[in-house]
């Protein structure tokens, strides 16, 4: 709802479950997240490793077959294998998290994703930074352990590599947000995907308001699922302290973003009508196989 800028650092409050975090968005709306636990993150990482191995084999095996069939092409086949392995092992996580809204095949299977520490989608530079650090945390010590230490029988190198892995593996247990080094550098969190169930009672309340306000497809296509969830949080806060101010502020941002023109006299009826129309629009797109996560997609 606001311009894409990094929100100021906001204290994260615990509530009940130690994994529950509440983050204040730039619109002043509190969003609640459930942090992914260590087991979920390890499971997702193992799944991704298996996918990476399969991808590497799918690219390297044809090159090996080419060598057996035409030994003169051994140099070309070796080059193909090296380039394929380099691309998979260095860009797998970055590519998927950039294109799949902070998820990878492993994360999707487990039901977790990487988000910005301010509660919004993680930026491209943050996703790149968090994944480049994975080389330092995991892959470099693994290469040192299995490629050099065990191969050459160097006890000190083996112990050093194992200690390196051990320290980085334990780091998430020693900070309250279960962050690894990559998350600390990039300012990201890994959270569980919310089970989005937009309750029908709120949708039914919008029907009367829809008769008063009409929105074009272009206006509705400005926002996505994330913004719909924010709208629902705002509208469900009726009776809470500051509810009217939050509704007015969000309605003003919506009016400016979609080019509505004259701000409506009654902010909440307008926002309820926009919520109902946006919800219907997104559901229609989902039926056609087009999923829009947020306004930046």
The alpha carbons of the chain give a radius of gyration, in whole angstroms, of 24
Range of 38-42, 66-70, 71-75, 177-181 with top mean pLDDT: 38-42
**Domains in the chain, number:** 2
Asked whether residue 221 is assigned to any structural domain, the reply reads yes
CA-closest candidate to residue 23, choices 11, 6, 7, 38: 11
pTM confidence score: 0.58
Return the SS3 of 136: helix
Q: Are 177 and 35 spatial neighbours (Cβ–Cβ below 8 Å)?
A: yes
84 plus 120 within the same structural domain? yes
pLDDT at position 51? 95
pLDDT value for 3: 35
Q: Is residue 97 exposed (0-12), middle (13-18) or buried (19+ Cβ within 10 Å)? A: buried
CA distance 148 to 163: 15
* Enclosing domain of residue 220: 200-287
Do 157 and 209 belong to one domain? no
Model pLDDT, residue 10: 36
- pLDDT surpassing 70 at residue 5: no
Mean pLDDT score of the chain: 75
Q: What gap in Å lies between CA 263 and CA 171, rounded to an integer? A: 50
- Which residue reads 């087991």 in tokens? 39
Residue 34 has pLDDT above 90, yes or no: no
Residues 186, 148 share a domain: yes
Torsion angles phi and psi, residue 24, rounded to 5 = -90, 120
Give the residue among 278, 223, 283, 294 at the shortest CA–CA distance from 256. 223
Query: What is the DSSP secondary-structure string of 230-271?
Result: HHHHHHTTTTSTTHHHHHHHHHHHHHHHHT--SPPS-HHHHH
The per-residue pLDDT for range 69-96, each reduced to its tens digit, is 777 777 777 787 788 888 888 899 999 9
Please, which pLDDT band fits residue 2 given cuts at 50, 70 and 90?
very low
What tokens does 138 get?
A: 């995991």
Are 229 and 153 members of one domain? Answer: no
Owner of token pair 């902010």:
267
50 has pLDDT over 90: yes
| 162, 192, 222 - which closes a domain | 192
Residues 182 and 210 in one domain: no
pLDDT of residue 207: 54
| Residue 61 sits in the same domain as residue 139 | yes
The pLDDT, as a whole number, for residue 77 is 74
CB 35 within 8 A of CB 178: yes
Same domain for 181 and 51: yes
Give the contacts of 251 (CB within 8 A, at least 6 positions apart): 263, 264, 267, 268, 270, 271
The yes-or-no verdict on residue 43 having pLDDT over 90 is yes
Same domain for 186 and 211?
no
């Amino acid at each position: 709802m606001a311009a894409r800028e990094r929100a100021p650092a906001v204290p994260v409050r615990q509530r009940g479950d130690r994994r529950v975090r509440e983050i204040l968005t730039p619109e002043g709306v509190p969003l609640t997240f459930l942090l992914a636990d260590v087991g979920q993150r390890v499971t997702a990482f193992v799944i991704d490793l298996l996918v990476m191995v399969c991808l590497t084999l799918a690219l390297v095996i044809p090159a090996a077959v080419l060598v057996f069939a035409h030994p003169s092409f051994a140099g070309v086949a070796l080059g193909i294998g090296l380039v394929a392995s380099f691309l998979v092992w260095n860009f797998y996580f970055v590519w998927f998290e950039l294109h799949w809204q902070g998820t990878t095949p492993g994360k999707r299977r487990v039901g977790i994703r990487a988000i910005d520490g301010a509660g919004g989608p993680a930026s491209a530079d943050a996703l790149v930074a968090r994944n480049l650090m994975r080389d330092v945390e995991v892959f470099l010590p693994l290469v040192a352990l299995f490629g050099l230490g065990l191969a050459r029988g160097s006890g000190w190198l083996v112990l050093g590599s194992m200690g390196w892995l051990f320290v980085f593996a334990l780091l998430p247990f020693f900070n309250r947000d279960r962050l690894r080094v990559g998350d600390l550098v990039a300012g990201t969190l890994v959270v569980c995907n919310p089970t989005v169930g937009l309750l029908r009672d709120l949708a039914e309340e919008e029907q009367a308001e829809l008769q008063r306000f009409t929105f074009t497809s272009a206006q509705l296509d400005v926002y996505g699922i994330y913004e719909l969830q924010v709208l629902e949080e705002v509208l469900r806060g009726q009776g809470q302290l500051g509810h009217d101010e939050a509704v007015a502020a969000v309605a003003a941002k919506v009016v400016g973003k979609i080019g509505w023109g004259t701000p409506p006299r009654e902010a909440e009826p307008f926002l309820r009508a926009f919520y109902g129309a946006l919800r219907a629009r997104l559901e229609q797109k989902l039926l056609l196989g087009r999923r829009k996560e947020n306004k930046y997609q």
